Chain A
Amino acid sequence: MTQYLYEEECDELPAFSVEGLPSVPRLSHLEMLEAESIHIFREAAASFAAPVMLYSIGKDSSVLLRLAQKAFYPGKIPFPLLHVDTGYKFPEMIEFRDRYVKEIGAELIVHKNQQALDDGATPFALGTQKCCGLLKTRSLLDALEEGGFDAALGGARRDEEKSRAKERIYSFRDAAGQWDPRNQRPELWNYYNGKLDKGEHIRIFPLSNWTELDVWLYIYKENIPIVPLYFAKEREVVVRGGSILLTQGPIPLLPGEKAERRSVRMRSLGCVPCTGAIASHADTLPKIIEEMFGFRRSERENRTIDHDQEGSMEMKKREGYF
């Protein structure tokens, strides 16, 4: 660019502007997304009696948590975090959760559908649909009801899946916790209507306009801690039906299967039996981002739940899945 031809002289020039003051810098796309998300957090805190933030320990949750800290600084986050624990999460996730939440001084509620677990709910026995229905969807609705929460903030993004592309930032749920895609409240400008009758609640998605790349870039730029499972490392795995599963936790080997060691990492974090790893050598954030540009597969592909049948995510969401 011609403008920089005389760089050596540039230093000699005083930074001149008419008002003798620095000029307004243009916001980058990440700064715009950050400002929008902070705005949404503050709207939530100002408009609801009992909001709660769903914390799933994944990378999106880490970003969500950082944005919540920013929104209320120097105050603390004015609502609790809620983790719906299926009992099948990776041990590294639980360890990370307990350490990090304590470090930033947030309040954490952990909710488990203990009865379903006692009754023997596993994805192997019930299939992923039913298992998710009991341990995630049902469990979440119970937790919201028990806590008397009227708003639940979550880290879902519109670019994750087709039916999420139409999700509002404030997503209204009726008294049964269900979503009606044909009857959503219009959202114009940055006005979010959070008015409710008894028993109804709103799900709020401050990361709606973020893409997976934005999330990684932000983690990189802000140096946000994430669960080590996101980084590639040699781990013990078993290859089953095209998925690479970590052998830790409740994964019984089937007859004829053999565990092996491979350099893998998780692209998204869910339950041990249902979340596949990917073969990767990306052990730093820049390497993960570099790998992303080479990705030809979308991030939820390794989640068994989304692919059971065409439109399956939309059906789950109607029932109350986050």
Chain B
Amino acid sequence: MHPNATGANASTFEQFLSQHLERDLLRFTTAGSVDDGKSTLIGRLLYDSKAIYEDQVQSIRQSALNRSTGPMDFSLLTDGLRAEREQGITIDVAYRYFTTARRKFIIADTPGHEQYTRNMATGASTADAAVVLVDARKGVLPQSRRHATIAALLGIPYIIAAVNKMDLIDYSEEMFRRLEGDLEELALQISPSGAQIIQCIPISALEGENVVTRSTKIPWYAGPSLLEYLEEIPIADASSPEALRFPVQYVIRPDDSFRGFAGQIIAGSVRPGDRVVALPSKQTTRVRSIVTFDGPLPLAGTGSSVTLQLEDELDLSRGDLLVSEAGLPNIARRFAANVVWLHATPLDVKKRWVMRQATDELRVQATKIRSRIDVNTMERPLAPQLGLNDIGIVEFEATRNLSFDLYSQNRNSGSFILIDPLTNATVGAGMISENLDKANRRAERELSDARSEAMFQEDISHAASVAVSERARRSGHHPGAVWLGARQSLAAPLERTLFEAGFHVVVIDDAQNPGEWSEGLVRGLYSAGMIVLYSPKYTREKEKHHLTSAIQPDRILDVDSLNQEVGDAFLLQKIVAWVEGLRIARPEEGR
């Protein structure tokens, strides 16, 4: 900043440190075998991003098992276990770490063969993105298809098809475009609702083309390199607009004067004074304070591990769930779920399992296997049981009620694992897709009515007659503003797409207010709960600044700050995905 100032080095390094402290974290998964060049790709990412230390490289050069004909075999960096090195395959999930100036990355690196479906699912369960490798010469093989399908099933929002070995097809645009078409078809199959965004990137891991830096050998491709794309993926759950989900993990009671409920917020946010409902008891209270080692907090968001003190003495324990009144979860004994079977002992409908869901633990029994999902063909054959690495849709019944969200709404409160009570093995992983318990819905409705009445009374004592949360509940989404900047051409298609997706959306441009700032208009519509697409003819930096500082950062998207080299279609997808994040989880319809 001040290059001439004395002590420039120190201040530069301090800046550098604070930049490092502020980086965020993205987890992504890769799957594939040696042939796909997956290990080469990961080795390339680690190596080119300078994460590999020289001595590790040295020990590879010395290794007797070096299979490569070239100067270095990157896969030896990544295959950890002896058995794998000797057999030349990757049999487990391995975690790798690298860092760029913008982000820390965690790679969950998994084997791609069918018999390792469970490992793929494990890697995918915590990932924000999946890199699916496609051999440019061979096209979309069953393995890539399987990986993309599992990634979609486990709810990974961003899937990147890395079309590798472009060097072996002379960086042919024609062949890449054909593959891109095939991948779009695949996208429609695995994600008919469009919940997943699929991006195709042509690369050569071996030559390092388009992996970290953009390739000069692919002039016809204007999009980002793989790493650039990974650096730009928005991390969705950082400032979640959803209702609070706080599973009680542990009760902290050092003496009679303090009783706090420790846990990690898995959705929404919490402030002192917020009204919360404890489940399953359905008692209501307020949050007195958010306690941490570093002092009390005014606010805590999704992902934070905190301790909550409540106003009233509620008898809560591990497994209970604190939620906000505005969006109650499902409460039911019977549910259906997509299940990945992880163990050689099959799932059948007679056995009882221990189920872990959030911090709750209870007994369940499978009552019906609706079908198996063939991840190669997407067919759903009937199946009497699920074997190791099978995926199926299964109906369950628990011995008591559990509180959950559907997995499509929340990956934490909608997921569970099954444990064999005899062997203690983790045998299955489930993603809840349906509440099968209609009988319980009446009780929920009564509770919800009581809550809304309490809330209404509270609100009219405030100056504002309509609470922001009430507007959001009516429209089904939070308000949002998009500064379109130079991308005015996107306004019309965006408005149409979002309107059809059920959003209250409007475009503001200079036509309404020629030559004047429309910032006030945008703010007004925003306060009314709308999604406002603002597309002024000329960018007035001062106006933009006023607007961006007036609206809370997670509710305004500055399109100028996104990568401008990508195509309209890609940006459109990105903006729609961002707006989708503003939806609120609604209590189930029809209760």
Residues of chain A having any CB pair with chain B under 8 Å = 2-6, 9-10, 13, 15-19, 21-36, 38-39, 42-43, 45-46, 69-76, 158-159, 162-166, 181-182, 184-191, 193, 195-197, 208-209, 211, 213-214, 217, 220-221, 286, 289-290, 295-298, 301, 310-311, 314
* A45 contacts across to B, CB distance below 8 A: 250
Contact A27 B552, CB 8 Å, known A163-B81, A188-B415: no
* Contact A13 B293, beta carbon cutoff 8 Å: no
Q: Which residue of A lies closest to B257 (CB)?
A: A74
Nearest 7 CB-CB pairs, A to B?
A: A23-B552, A24-B301, A296-B54, A29-B25, A38-B305, A75-B254, A195-B424
26 contacts between A and B (CB under 8 A): A9-B542, A18-B526, A23-B552, A23-B553, A24-B554, A26-B24, A33-B25, A42-B305, A71-B305, A73-B252, A73-B291, A74-B258, A75-B252, A76-B254, A158-B95, A165-B94, A166-B95, A184-B92, A186-B121, A190-B126, A209-B95, A211-B99, A213-B20, A213-B99, A220-B17, A298-B56
Is residue B492 within 8 Å, beta carbon to beta carbon, of the partner chain?
A: no
Contact A166 B81, CB 8 Å, known A74-B252, A286-B14, A296-B54: yes
Query: Shortest beta-carbon distance, A43 to chain B, in Å?
Result: 7
Is residue B269 within 8 Å, beta carbon to beta carbon, of the partner chain?
A: yes
* A184 contacts across to B, CB distance below 8 A: 92
Contact with A along B421-445 (1 / 0, CB 8 A): 0001110010000000000000000
* A21 contacts across to B, CB distance below 8 A: 271, 299
* B292 contacts across to A, CB distance below 8 A: 70, 73
* Contact A188 B468, beta carbon cutoff 8 Å: no
* Contact A289 B17, beta carbon cutoff 8 Å: yes
Q: Which residue of B lies closest to A26 (CB)?
A: B238
* Contact A23 B429, beta carbon cutoff 8 Å: no
* A163 contacts across to B, CB distance below 8 A: 80-81
Considering the chains assembled together, what is the distance between the CA atoms of A197 and B258 in angstroms? 35
The listed residue (A13, A75, A213, A297) touching B54 by CB distance below 8 A is A297
Chain B interface SS verdict (over half): mixed
Is residue B546 within 8 Å, beta carbon to beta carbon, of the partner chain?
A: yes
Is residue B337 within 8 Å, beta carbon to beta carbon, of the partner chain?
A: no
* B545 contacts across to A, CB distance below 8 A: 2-6, 9-10
* Contact A24 B419, beta carbon cutoff 8 Å: no
* A166 contacts across to B, CB distance below 8 A: 80-81, 92-95
Considering the chains assembled together, what is the distance between the CA atoms of A69 and B548 in angstroms? 38
* B85 contacts across to A, CB distance below 8 A: 311
Considering the chains assembled together, what is the distance between the CA atoms of A24 and B554 in angstroms? 8
The listed residue (B121, B239, B550, B552) touching A188 by CB distance below 8 A is B121
* Contact B417 A188, beta carbon cutoff 8 Å: yes
* A165 contacts across to B, CB distance below 8 A: 78, 80, 94-96
Contact with A along B57-81 (1 / 0, CB 8 A): 0000001100000000000011111
The listed residue (A35, A71, A191, A193) touching B424 by CB distance below 8 A is A193
Considering the chains assembled together, what is the distance between the CA atoms of A311 and B125 in angstroms? 29
Is residue B365 within 8 Å, beta carbon to beta carbon, of the partner chain?
A: no
* Contact A16 B24, beta carbon cutoff 8 Å: no
Considering the chains assembled together, what is the distance between the CA atoms of A59 and B259 in angstroms? 32
Contact with A along B543-557 (1 / 0, CB 8 A): 011101111111100
Is residue B535 within 8 Å, beta carbon to beta carbon, of the partner chain?
A: no
Is residue B202 within 8 Å, beta carbon to beta carbon, of the partner chain?
A: no
* A28 contacts across to B, CB distance below 8 A: 21-25
* B269 contacts across to A, CB distance below 8 A: 24
* B29 contacts across to A, CB distance below 8 A: none
Considering the chains assembled together, what is the distance between the CA atoms of A296 and B24 in angstroms? 24
